[in-house]
Structure 1
Amino acid sequence: MSEIRHIVFDIGKVLIHYDPELPYRRLIPDEEKRRWFFAEICTPEWNIEQDRGRTWEEAEALLIADYPDEAENIRGFRRNWHEMVPHAYKESVAIMETLIDQGYDVTMLTNFASDTFIEARERFTFLARPRGVTVSGDIRAIKPDRAIFDHHVTAFGLDPKATIFIDDSAKNVEGARAAGWNAVLFTNAETLRKDLVGYGIEI
């Protein structure tokens, strides 16, 4: 195993909490209708296209054309996005900042719409501490596609064999491994510490 020099963090559900249900418990109080709304209208498949670079205006127009009666709820996704990311995971952030302080090369690789990432970076100042970030919405490629991992390697001069990626999605972890990276599945900070020790990284 090559010595790990580069550590790459995902952001959502690793460093900051994300839950689209949070504002919709207020916007659509009825649980059954809310479940239907996320299953049929503002689906994960719809949302990921904003992470790939589609504009919110285009995304909203596509749905409103088919569901005009839900126009306000559809627009509510972007309008209330800030409520979906209410707080950071302090223990995960502490791990990341400790790794930076220890001299590791830390970057971030995230599926994020360009504009909401700008908003997140303004709210969560620790996102400025790593050397840099690849935002899917900026380059129009998303995890787990090989292209985004190769882009990150080139953009930041990484050696894939000396890189470890931390993500909460098993598909993204497998995508990183397919690109020649080391990768671990994030579940919580305590487990992450143990996983990093397994790669010779003491925190």
Structure 2
Amino acid sequence: MTPHAVIFDIGNVLIEWQPERFYDRTVGEPRRKAMFEAVDLHQMNDRVDRGAPFRETIYATALDYPDFGDEIRMWHDNWIELASPVIDHSVRLLRALREKGVPVFTLTNFGVESFAYAQTQFDFLSEFDRPYISGHMKTAKPDAEIYAMVEADSGLPPDALLFTDDRAENIAAASARGWQVHHFTGPAGWAERLVSAGLLTPDEAK
């Protein structure tokens, strides 16, 4: 069926999310590798995505690992540099869909404070018809609960939703519920999927 709403992930779909790249650039690859081996920074970030306070969680982790304290605090203090740059073609697709009157949602693993801050830096993050932010929902992808919450709130059946995400496990969890899905590996492929779904013309998807 033709999708009734399109759902975007944000990290690595609308904005690049590559913390390792940021640290390689700022502290050097050897120091970054040592830190990531000693500290589970992605698990720290997952706690923020599930509703833990942004600054407090990161700064507490820095206290737990004083050898890397300065670098860990950068996860908060330089956060927007970790979440950059914008993937411009994806933003154009979001806006093209909205111009066609297609409801556009986001379902994203994102902290409460970090998302609010990102909205001040990236205007398109305030353009969703329905934002589903894991930090507010107190659960995160790929937990089944978060997908069920989207279905209940939107009032749409699973097969009416077309969802794109860069992580295979998040796509698999949505597909298991009957959502239409697209594994995002770049904006060109996503554009092709939106055209094949009948939501955009090739010119609109450029």
Q: Common fold, TM-score beyond 0.5?
A: yes
User: What's 1:4 paired with?
Assistant: 3
Query: How far apart, CA to CA, are the structure 1 residues paired with 2:133 and 2:21?
Result: 24
Where does residue 177 of structure 1 map in the other structure? 175
Query: Does 2:194 correspond to 1:192?
Result: no
Q: In 2, distance between residues paired with 1:76 and 1:190?
A: 33
Question: Structure 2: how far apart are the matches of 1:135 and 1:142?
Answer: 8
Structure 1 counterpart of 2:204: none
TM-fit CA distance, 1:131: 0.5
Partner Cα distance (1:70, 1:190) in 2:
39
Letter in 1 for 2:5: H
Give the alignment of 1:113-152 within 5 angstroms.
Answer: 113-152=111-150
Does the 8 Å contact 1:167/1:184 carry over to 2?
yes
Instruction: Report the Cα distance in structure 1 between the residues aligned to 2:151 and 2:70, rounded to whole angstroms.
Output: 41
2:90 — aligned with what? 92
User: Secondary structure of the equivalent of 1:98?
Assistant: helix
The 5 Å alignment of 1:48-87 reads: 48-56=46-54, 57-62=56-61, 64-65=63-64, 67-87=65-85
1:9 touches 1:109 (CA, 8 Å); kept in 2?
yes
Q: Residue 47 of structure 1 corresponds to which residue in structure 2?
A: 45
Q: 2:40, 2:80 → 1: CA distance?
A: 16
State whether residues 58 and 73 of structure 2, in contact with CA within 8 Å, keep that contact through their aligned partners in structure 1: no
Give the TM-score normalised by the residue count of structure 1. Answer: 0.90
Quick one: distance in 1 between partners of 2:61 and 2:188? Answer: 42
Distance 1:79 1:42, change over 3 A: farther
Give distance in 2, aligned partners of 1:12 and 1:24.
17
Alpha carbons of structure 1 residues 3 and 142: separation in structure 2 relative to 1, 3 Å: same
SS in 1 for 2:142: coil
In the alignment, the residues of structure 2 paired with residue 127 and residue 92 of structure 1 have an alpha-carbon distance, to the nearest angstrom, of 12
Stretches of structure 2 lacking an aligned partner (at least 5 in a row): 202-206
Superposition CA RMSD, Å: 1.7
SS of aligned partner of 1:107 = strand
- Structure 1: 5+ residue stretches without partners: none
Question: Aligned residue pairs: how many?
Answer: 200
Residue aligning to 2:24: 25
Name the TM-score, length of structure 2 as normaliser: 0.89
- Judge which range, 79-88 or 133-142, deviates more: 79-88
Q: Contact between 1:41 and 1:63, CA under 8 Å: does it hold in 2?
A: no
From the superposition, tell whether residues 85 and 59 of structure 1 become closer, same or farther in structure 2 (CA, over 3 Å). closer
**Post-superposition shift, 1:70?**
2.0
- 1:64·1:74 contact (CA, 8 Å) conserved in 2? no
- Amino-acid identity (%): 33
